Amino acid sequence: MNLQNEKCVMVINENLPVGIIANTAAIMGITLGKKMPEVVGENVTDQNGNEHLGIIKFPVPVLKATPENIKNIREKLYHPDFTDLTVVDFSDLAQECKTYNEYIEKIENKTEKDLQYFGLAICGEKKKINKLTGSMSLLR
């Protein structure tokens, strides 16, 4: 992976309560770490000899969007031009399930139109990411 030409962003529904925003970002980050372990740096040691687990090697801007914007971007990501990007989505369905088995069972009976996305994490070629999200503001 050439970190010079790569970018990763999170796009999160700006209307969600702060706790759900934090949960959405955390879940997508964990999934990205599993999918892209090469972007997590090695463990480091501070001056006192305490070890700190490695973190991602580059910034991940968190952008704000309306639910409609997120849905729009998610639909574009299914287009062949964007299939090489790594995409993590987190929806209302995923958030409401108490177990992963419940999520599996419920999502099998849903269509794309049924899902309301809380957030997307998108990683890959910088030009493509910018094409999708370049005009979006930071979530603050």
Domain ranges of the chain: 6-133
Q: Supply the DSSP string of 34-50, one letter for each residue.
A: HH-GGGBPPPEE-TTS-
Query: What is the rounded average pLDDT of the residues 37-43?
Result: 93
The topology (CATH level 3) of 6-133 is: Bit1 (3.40.1490)
pLDDT (tens digit, 9 = 90+) per residue, 13-37?
A: 999 999 999 999 999 999 999 999 9
Question: Higher model confidence: residue 3 or residue 102?
Answer: 102
CA distances for 58 relative to 5, 8, 33, 106, 128, angstroms: 12, 8, 13, 35, 17
In this prediction the pTM is: 0.91
Beta bridge partners of 48: none
Locate 40 and state its tokens. 């997590």
- Calculate the average pLDDT of the chain: 95
What is the C-alpha separation between 17 and 99, in angstroms, rounded? 22
| φ, ψ at 136 (rounded to 5°) | -85, 150
| φ, ψ at 132 (rounded to 5°) | -80, -35
